[in-house]
């Protein structure tokens, strides 16, 4: 009987210990028997932290390499100030360690390490943060790659729900065939973490965000955004790396820098948002993607608009960047009719290839200078055209040879270099500059030669009834007033608008040859502000054989006007006297 009772008591004790060992908050022992997380005797009390309400605490210990031997979930892990030796917590191949509550709290003052391991068969470990869990501070995560050619993935860290990477350091590593990876799902965020993708990848899904993280892609490492995810205000550096946006994702207000080999691409309905993008690698806008209102600087590389992508209000800057390779913007393979962008800026070594498409510039209302060349395609597409919109100024200082039309619908197109196309100045638009237009100019808006003042040369000139020619006058000497030099016929209508600059007032009799032409048709229908200098002077235009002259003359009221004034004065006097006699 005593033996039976003893056996029963022993069995009960074993059962009790097994129940206690199933789950509960506990502290890792100073001298555990092994590094196995899932052995109860390695903890005090004797239980395995493996439940959504459990906390695993790590203090001072002689064994700091800890690995799970079964799928494990805890509310969080806490490292106390006594944890002066750095721990390495491992999610063993084929197993998952889940943080579903507070996540990682590190009060040790040193970096604690977490590893997702991979074995020879290709099985990999996984660390998951769910709900509102955080990876905390001073935490280093290593997602290892696989040497198995048949492995589908390496080790991975996954953020779900509204979890965050905190300010952790996450390294996705490569090993022969497959790299490790980090995934952000649902509404999770990369927080202010640092992520390195070395021939490996980080992916964002759902409505997740890169937050204000610092992401570094190297060795063709990849960062990808899917669904409605966003790069937030992150800093993403591609050094032989790739950043890609798919679906309806956005670059947000991120700063994205790309150098050397690699590329940045937008496809689906993704957008560059208001990001600041600087690249000397390729950048692609494909399908129905949009450049948004981003600032995009292209140094010694290639920028492609394909499919039905949109430029939006993006500011595009092309510059050589110290390389012999010229940067270029390529619209040749875009669907008709073309692309609208906010602004374009570039140095003398930059190119824009239009193909047969139209480039509309100015939707962000900025004023920029493009010193490179805008042309049709390189053996692909002809008839490329340019449309200026918005309130800003686009200054073309290079030799541009696109063959389609130039339309100025808003703001100022200043030609300080040359263009070859026929140019239409529409209502609300202004053509200015000191350059040459080797095509016909039709003016239904404003033509203002020079840059207050200067000379603009055109092949031929037609001014409609609602057009105006603005002539700046800062002095009587050559070079001090605007000149429109028409190499062919000048067909005139509409208005002439002289504008005096810097307080200059011409003397009576001073003249200004403001218009040169080979032949003349028509005349201006009126002069705006014709009477000036406190009504002491009047402008008069004289049309000569090959030029038109604007002369300041004395303003003498005509006899009809004088008689009308005298009559009105007499009538006023009679009316006054009649009132006095009453």
| pLDDT score recorded for residue 174 | 86
Tell me the mean pLDDT in the region 353-361: 96
β 547-554/537-543 pair status: antiparallel
Name the average pLDDT for the chain: 91
Q: Which of 454, 424, 451 is nearest to 437 (CA)?
A: 424
| pLDDT score recorded for residue 4 | 37
Tell me the mean pLDDT in the region 193-221: 96
| pLDDT score recorded for residue 394 | 98
557 in helix, strand or coil?
coil
pLDDT > 70: what percent of the chain?
91
| pLDDT score recorded for residue 15 | 37
| pLDDT score recorded for residue 446 | 98
Tell me the mean pLDDT in the region 405-421: 98
Q: Which of 146, 153, 152, 231 is nearest to 195 (CA)?
A: 231
Q: What string of DSSP letters covers 109-157?
A: SS-EEEEE-B-TTS-B-EEEE-TT-B--SSEEEEE--B--TT-S---EE
Instruction: Name the band, by pLDDT with cuts 50, 70 and 90, for residue 322.
Output: low
pLDDT tens string 489-523: 999 999 999 999 999 999 999 999 999 999 999 99
Instruction: Name the band, by pLDDT with cuts 50, 70 and 90, for residue 161.
Output: very high
Residue found under tokens 């290593």: 142
* CA dist., res. 262 & res. 217, Å (int): 10
What are the φ/ψ torsions at residue 4 (nearest 5 degrees)? -65, -45
Q: Confirm if 331 and 352 have CB atoms less than 8 A apart.
A: yes
Element (H, E) at 197: strand 194-198
- Cβ-based neighbour number of residue 31 at 10 Å: 8
* CA dist., res. 342 & res. 295, Å (int): 9
| pLDDT score recorded for residue 22 | 52
Structure tokens at 235: 């800093």
pLDDT over 50 at 217, yes or no: yes
pLDDT over 60 at 405, yes or no: yes
* CA dist., res. 223 & res. 234, Å (int): 12
pLDDT tens string 8-54: 344 444 333 443 445 699 999 999 999 999 999 999 999 999 999 99
Q: Which of 112, 120, 118 is nearest to 137 (CA)?
A: 112
- Cβ-based neighbour number of residue 121 at 10 Å: 12
- Range in 276-280, 386-390, 429-433 with the lowest mean pLDDT: 276-280
**Cα–Cα–Cα angle for 379, 260, 349, rounded to 5 degrees:** 45
| pLDDT score recorded for residue 561 | 46
| pLDDT score recorded for residue 571 | 52
pLDDT over 90 at 563, yes or no: no
pLDDT tens string 165-202: 999 999 999 877 788 999 999 999 999 999 999 999 99
Q: Confirm if 384 and 406 have CB atoms less than 8 A apart.
A: no
* CA dist., res. 112 & res. 99, Å (int): 15
The model carries a pTM of 0.86
* CA dist., res. 447 & res. 428, Å (int): 11
Instruction: Name the band, by pLDDT with cuts 50, 70 and 90, for residue 163.
Output: very high
**Maximum Cα interatomic distance, the chain, rounded to a whole number of Å:** 149
pLDDT tens string 75-123: 999 999 999 999 999 999 999 999 999 999 999 999 999 999 999 888 9
pLDDT over 80 at 569, yes or no: no
| pLDDT score recorded for residue 377 | 85
| pLDDT score recorded for residue 324 | 64
| pLDDT score recorded for residue 575 | 47
Q: What share of the chain is helix, strand, coil (3-state, %, to 5)?
A: 10, 45, 45
- Write the Ramachandran bin of 338: left for phi over 0, alpha for psi from -120 to 50, otherwise beta: left
pLDDT over 70 at 301, yes or no: yes
Tell me the mean pLDDT in the region 416-436: 98
- Range in 104-118, 155-169, 366-380, 403-417 with the lowest mean pLDDT: 366-380
Q: Confirm if 104 and 112 have CB atoms less than 8 A apart.
A: yes
pLDDT tens string 251-280: 999 999 998 777 899 999 999 999 999 998
Instruction: Name the band, by pLDDT with cuts 50, 70 and 90, for residue 133.
Output: very high
Structure tokens at 440: 């016909």
Q: Confirm if 366 and 345 have CB atoms less than 8 A apart.
A: no
Structure tokens at 497: 């608008």
């Amino acid at each position: 009987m005593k033996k039976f009772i003893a056996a029963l008591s022993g069995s009960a004790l074993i059962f009790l210990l097994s129940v206690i060992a199933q789950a509960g908050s506990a502290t890792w022992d100073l001298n555990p028997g092994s590094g196995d997380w899932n052995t109860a005797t390695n903890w005090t009390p004797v239980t395995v932290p493996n439940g959504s309400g459990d906390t695993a605490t790590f203090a001072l210990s002689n064994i700091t390499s800890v690995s799970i031997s079964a799928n494990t979930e805890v509310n969080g892990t806490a490292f106390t100030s006594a944890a002066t030796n750095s721990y390495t917590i491992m999610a063993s191949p084929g197993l998952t360690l889940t943080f579903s509550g507070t996540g990682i709290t590190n009060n040790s003052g040193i970096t604690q390490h977490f590893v997702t391991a991979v074995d020879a068969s290709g099985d990999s470990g996984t660390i998951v943060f769910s709900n509102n869990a955080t990876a905390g501070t001073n935490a280093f995560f290593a997602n290892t790659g696989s040497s198995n050619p048949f492995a589908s993935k390496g080790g991975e860290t996954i953020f779900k729900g509204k979890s965050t990477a905190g300010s952790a350091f996450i390294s996705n590593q490569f090993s022969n065939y497959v790299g490790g990876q980090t995934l952000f799902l649902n509404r999770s965020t990369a927080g202010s973490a640092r992520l390195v993708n070395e021939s490996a990848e980080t992916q964002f899904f759902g409505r997740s965000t890169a937050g204000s993280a610092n992401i570094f892609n190297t060795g063709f490492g990849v960062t990808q955004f899917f669904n409605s995810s966003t790069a937030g205000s992150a800093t993403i550096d591609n050094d032989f790396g790739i950043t890609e946006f798919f679906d309806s994702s956005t670059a947000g207000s991120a700063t994205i820098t790309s150098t050397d080999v690699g590329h940045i691409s937008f496809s689906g309905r993704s957008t560059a948002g208001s990001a600041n993008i600087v690249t000397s690698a390729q950048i692609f806008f494909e399908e129905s993607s949009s450049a948004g209102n981003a600032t995009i600087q292209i140094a010694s590389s290639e920028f492609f608009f394909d499919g039905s992508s949109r430029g939006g209000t993006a500011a595009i800057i092309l510059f050589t960047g110290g390389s012999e390779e010229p940067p270029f913007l390529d619209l040749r393979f875009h669907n008709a009719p073309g692309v609208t962008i906010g602004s374009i800026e570039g140095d003398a070594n930059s190119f824009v290839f239009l193909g047969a498409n139209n480039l509309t510039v100015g939707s962000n209302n900025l004023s920029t200078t493009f010193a490179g060349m805008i042309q049709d395609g390189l053996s692909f597409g002809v008839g490329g055209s340019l449309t200026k919109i918005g309130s800003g100024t686009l200054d073309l200082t290079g030799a541009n040879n696109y063959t389609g039309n130039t339309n100025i619908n808003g703001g100022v197109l200043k030609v300080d270099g040359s263009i070859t196309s026929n140019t239409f100045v529409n209502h609300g638009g202004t053509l200015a500059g000191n350059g040459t237009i080797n095509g016909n100019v039709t003016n239904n808006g404003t033509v203002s030669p020079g840059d207050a003042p200067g000379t603009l040369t055109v092949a031929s000139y037609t001014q409609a009834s609602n057009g105006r020619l603005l002539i700046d006058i800062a002095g009587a000497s050559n070079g001090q007033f605007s000149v429109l030099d028409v190499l062919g016929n000048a067909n005139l209508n509409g208005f002439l608008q002289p504008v005096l600059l810097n307080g200059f007032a011409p003397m009576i009799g001073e003249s200004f040859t403001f218009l040169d032409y080979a032949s003349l048709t028509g005349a201006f229908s009126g002069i705006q502000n014709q009477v000036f200098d406190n009504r002491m002077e009047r402008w008069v235009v004289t049309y000569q054989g090959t030029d038109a002259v604007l002369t300041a003359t004395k303003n003498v009221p005509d006899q009809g006007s004088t008689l009308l004034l005298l009559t009105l004065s007499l009538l006023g006097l009679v009316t006054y006297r009649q009132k006095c006699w009453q």
